[in-house]
Amino acid sequence: MQPRPLEPIPELRTERLRLRAPDLEDAEALAAIYGDPEVGRYLGFRLIHRTEQMREKLARDLEAVRRGEGMRWVLCAHADAAPAGYVGIFSWSQRDRRAEVGYVVARELWGQGVMKELFPALLHFGFGRMGLHRLEARVDSRNGASLRVLLRAGFQVEGVLREHHVAEPEGFGDTTLLALLEGEWRRGYSHT
Ligand SMILES: CC(C)(COP(=O)(O)OP(=O)(O)OC[C@H]1O[C@@H](n2cnc3c(N)ncnc32)[C@H](O)[C@@H]1OP(=O)(O)O)[C@@H](O)C(=O)NCCC(=O)NCCS
């Protein structure tokens, strides 16, 4: 089955926030966000703080959107297009109606309920517009904030992938696999 793209990338709005289509010109601001060591701690993108590498990532991500393999958004305020984060639904298998969710929020906005506010809109888009049956997340098992955000959105832990990634200086770190199914989302399954 040939994947069908969902272009153009739609804008999603929540009470305080906006998810808009990314642009290659966002590379510098996003590289600054990813380059914060606290932000990058559990991401494993050690080189992405360089503008050129972020530009290449954006180009790859936008190409994947064009091929119908995912969706990507820049997080910003309603009245200001400056990037405050990057959000995606990627590794989209249209055949299996399955994808993975990922997100990065600028450190100065942490703890203000940004992901709590975005998740209902993301899930509505993923299960509604993309027609997903299953949305997965893979999280460094030490990343308490991300695990909290996902559990609160209704995701369930399905298992731990032991020593799944390099985690300097400890050696190898565990990854927790979570997922939310369409039926659970439709039944309003949520721990908010
Ligand atoms: C994960 C991340 C997106 C969360 O964003 P956020 O806007 O701060 O999320 P929210 O404010 O909506 O919710 C954070 C929740 O985690 C909790 N939390 C914060 N740090 C925590 C920790 N170390 N352990 C457990 N819970 C934690 C907060 O109390 C809050 O829960 P509450 O609303 O029940 O009080 C943000 O921390 C981030 O960008 N991290 C770096 C990138 C990253 O790791 N992305 C995820 C990759 S899988």
* Residues 8-58: tens digit of each pLDDT: 899 999 999 999 999 999 999 999 999 999 999 998 766 677 999 999 999
- The residue whose CB lies within 8 Å of the most ligand 1 atoms, and thus the one to mutate among 140, 148, 161, is 148
Give the model confidence (pLDDT) of 88-102 as tens digits.
999 999 999 999 999
In contact, 178 and 139? CB cutoff 8 Å:
yes
Total domain count, the chain: 1
Q: What is the pLDDT of residue 68?
A: 95
CATH number for 24: 3.40.630.30
Q: How many CB atoms lie within 10 A of CB 74?
A: 22
- Counting from 1 in the atom list of ligand 1, the atom nearest the Cα of 38 is 41
Place of tokens 């503008």: 51
Whole-number pLDDT of residue 7: 72
- The more confident residue out of 3 and 9 is 9
Question: Which residues partner with 100 through β-bridges?
Answer: 90, 136
Instruction: Tell me if 130 is assigned to some domain.
Output: yes
Supply the mean pLDDT for the chain.
Answer: 93
Q: Is residue 101 part of a domain?
A: yes
Contacts of 29 (CB under 8 A, 6+ apart): 82, 83
Does 53 fall in a domain?
A: yes
Say if 147 falls within a structural domain. yes
Cβ contact 68:61 at 8 Å: no
Tally the C-alpha atoms within 13 A of residue 152's C-alpha that lie toward its C-beta: 15
pLDDT value at 135 more than 60: yes
Q: How far, in Å, CA of 51 to CA of 30, rounded?
A: 8
Residue nearest atom 2 in ligand 1 by C-alpha distance:
146
Ligand 1 mean position, distance from CA 136 (Å): 17
- Any domain includes 1: no
- Range from 47-51, 70-74, 121-125 carrying the lowest mean pLDDT: 47-51
Q: How far does residue 68's CA lie from ligand 1's centre (Å)? A: 29
What are the start-end ranges of the E strands in the chain?
12-13, 17-20, 71-77, 85-93, 98-105, 134-140, 156-167, 171-181
Instruction: Give me the domain span that covers residue 51.
Output: 12-186
- The answer to whether residue 2 sits within a structural domain is no
Q: Average pLDDT for residues 114-130, to the nearest whole number?
A: 97
Q: Is the pLDDT of residue 192 over 60?
A: no
